[in-house]
Amino acid sequence: MSRLLITGGAGFIGSNFVHYVIDHTDDTVVVLDKLTYAGNVASLAGLPANRYTFVHGDVCDKELVDKLVAKSDAVVHFAAESHNDNSLVDPEPFIMTNLYGTFSMLEAVRKHDVRYHHISTDEVYGDLALDDPHKFEPNSPYDPSSPYSSSKAGSDMLVRAWVRSFGVPATITNCSNNYGPRQHVEKFIPRQVTNIIDGVRPKLYGDGLNVRDWIHVDDHNAAVLLVLKKGRIGETYLIGVNGELDNKTVIEKILLAMGQPADAYDHVSDRPGHDRRYAIDATKLRTELGWEPKFRDFDAGLAHTIDWYRDNEAQWRPEKAAVEAKYVKEGH
Ligand code: NAD
Ligand code: TDX
């Protein structure tokens, strides 16, 4: 049994991870979360009080982080500003949370010699051409495009340096685009699903041919737990399930699954610097740690996700109008 400190545990992936850990291990969990617009304690409802504690606070608060890390056996650092579009409007919180916040976590785990796992993204590798036969591999060169992805790239570099210079017992995973329950309505799939629920047409950026490599959030989290328990210290593992789809296809699938004509969407202005394609080669994770994904059928996972948004309107409704107002201002 381990005492896990999970940062960003009220967000999309972090909250699903907390549920996953409670369901699949004997570990106890402390969540540290600032509850920004992206955090929602409702995502953590129903967890057993003897195994789960919530701490409202900032990963940049070094004193608080130090206290919590001192009482932990391992840290899983999910907390981040996570939305590319927001980073193009106001990069500052991305620099603070993603860079300084990671520095703050690393200093505490260094001091207390605590196992650290860093959650990162495939976006640190930049993008691929649609016809490029290659996929991202752990040693692909870093080439981030946006303030978000560059701040995540910087945070990965800090982790690598703290491993090499200070011997911090850390691992890193870089995962592709997640989908599933409890994702914020600003993100692509939840935005379209909740638009359709509201009778509004989905919005496709640019030509809609940009490709994302979709993975169910529970497959991501199963891999994170495996790397935390069995990964080699100092290593980077890429997580992905060969789930490449272009955005136009995803919108068409959502529309059809929700009983609408496949072409009932609008094209809107493109994202500046919009990455064309991401694709993950997860061979290292599969061969070294024997990882296998469970959610092999994207359409089934999507249907389940749509049901979650239909059944949990109280959770996402309070954010929806503000998100759409923000997109109107940005021309999306
Ligand atoms: P999210 O935006 O849904 O959640 C982020 C959480 O972090 C929120 O609960 C928020 O309140 C919290 N937070 C933000 N700033 C904080 C701070 N300063 N101190 C404490 N808590 C803070 O994000 P997500 O989509 O769940 O992403 C989680 C992690 O996974 C991020 O590190 C992200 O880069 C990474 N990631 C995401 C994806 C994806 O598809 N969403 C893919 C790969 C990697
Ligand atoms: O309304 C939309 N229409 C649209 O066409 C929105 C919100 C997005 N898009 C496009 C942009 C992207 O090509 O859909 C794709 C996915 O967009 P996002 O959900 O914003 O995700 P992305 O920018 O790919 O980044 C996500 O995956 C990697 C997460 O938000 C990151 O945190 C993660 O690191």
> pLDDT digit string (tens) for 253-299?
999 999 999 999 999 999 999 999 999 999 999 999 999 999 989 99
List all residues whose CB is within 6 A of at least one atom of ligand 1.
7-8, 10-14, 32-36, 38-39, 58-60, 78-82, 97, 101, 119, 121, 152, 175, 177-178, 184
How far, in Å, CA of 16 to CA of 67, rounded? 25
pLDDT in tens, 9-44: 999 999 999 999 999 999 999 999 999 999 999 999
Q: Which residues contact 68 (CB under 8 A, 6 or more apart)?
A: 5, 30, 32, 55, 108
**Which ranges of the chain would DSSP assign to H, the alpha helix?**
12-24, 62-70, 84-89, 92-94, 101-112, 147-166, 188-197, 217-230, 247-257, 283-289, 298-311, 313-330
- Exactly one of 58, 122, 213, 252 is catalytic; name it: 122
The band of 103, judged by pLDDT with boundaries at 50, 70 and 90, is very high
**Residue 332, pLDDT score:** 93
The band of 1, judged by pLDDT with boundaries at 50, 70 and 90, is confident
The sign of the torsion formed by the CA atoms of 132, 223, 144, 169 equals negative
Mean local confidence (pLDDT), 165-177: 98
Q: Which ligand has its closest atom nearest to the C-alpha of 271?
A: 2
What mean pLDDT is reported for the chain? 98
pLDDT in tens, 40-90: 999 999 999 999 999 999 999 999 999 999 999 999 999 999 999 999 999
**Which ranges of 84-187 would DSSP assign to H, the alpha helix?**
84-89, 92-94, 101-112, 147-166
pTM comes to: 0.98
**Residue 139, pLDDT score:** 96
Residue whose Cα lies nearest atom 28 of ligand 2: it is: 177
Annotation marks residue 142 as catalytic: no
Helix (H) or strand (E) holding 122: none
Which DSSP symbol is given to 273? T
How far, in Å, CA of 253 to CA of 243, rounded? 14
- Exactly one of 20, 116, 125, 148 is catalytic; name it: 148
For domain 3-184+214-244+278-295, give the CATH number: 3.40.50.720
Annotation marks residue 330 as catalytic: no
Beta pairing class for 74-77 and 115-121 = parallel
**Residue 125, pLDDT score:** 98
Whole-number Å distance, alpha carbon 133 to ligand 1 midpoint, is: 30
The C-alpha angle 139, 6, 57, rounded to 5 degrees, equals: 120
pLDDT above 90 as % of the chain: 99
Q: Which residues contact 138 (CB under 8 A, 6 or more apart)?
A: 174, 235, 236, 237, 238, 284
Ligand 2: which atom is nearest the Cα of residue 177?
A: 27
